[in-house]
Amino acid sequence: MEHTEYVNLGQFETYIRYYFHDKHLLLEALSHSSYTNEKRKSRNSNERLEFLGDSVLSIVVSEFLFHKYPNLPEGELTKLRASMVCEKALHVFAQEIHLGEFLLLGKGEEHTGGRERSSILADAFEAVIAAIFLDGGMDAAKRHILRFIPENPEEEKPIGFRDYKTQLQEIIQKNPEEKVEYVLVDESGPDHDKAFQVEVCLNSNVIGKGVGHSKKVAEQLAAKEALLLMGYDQA
């Protein structure tokens, strides 16, 4: 696919569930500096939008955590926010909306893997936030950001926002006949402090187990164990 400024904005808008009044804002958010420098376009790269998006993201996440954890001290809130807006987390969020497919990159950046580069994706994710903010206001930006924020961030903090399920799926899908399934095998404890035990199965064989205070966390931990057992030490 040739990536030009005629990139399919409509498709991207369906992924982010926001439709722009000013499409030029979205184009700017998707324009990496390598593209604007190479094309000598009068349009700006996404660097200025990234600057603004970083602040919008920070205030939305800060407000969310402030209300979610009324008894958590400032130091803990700061750590939690940092884990949710770090490059690693934003890279995962960007992948969820297929952001890399829609970036406008210069040829050099394109050929050196810029479309998958964590820093480029994280910066562009912030630029898209700013574009939504400028186009639709804070409420629109807030709705967009909160889509990516887990219901209980404190529970997910130990995972470090590493998406083990996606990593496992990418490895398994190299063999189309293989099938991965997550099975809830146990649920215990009172409603306010439940523990969920999940097994991840490959063709009905258990390859990992995980226990967490939500099914989502348990599934991620099961996938992490599976990756370790398969020899992926970086998990």
Cite the active site residues: 54, 126
Positive or negative, the Cα torsion across 15, 17, 23, 28? negative
What is the number of other CB atoms lying within 10 angstroms of the CB of residue 52? 16
Closest of 103, 106, 101, 99 to residue 36, by C-alpha: 106
Dihedral over Cα of 111, 114, 115, 117: its sign:
positive
Question: Per the structure block, which two tokens stand in for 48?
Answer: 């200025």
Q: How many CA atoms lie within 13 A of 1 on its CB side?
A: 13
DSSP-derived letter for residue 174 is: T
Number of H helices, E strands in the chain: 12, 3
Backbone angles phi, psi at 63, to 5 degrees: -65, -40
The SS3 call for residue 142 is helix
Instruction: Specify the residue for token string 């709705």.
Output: 143
Q: Please give the Cα distance from 103 to 123 (Å, whole number).
A: 11
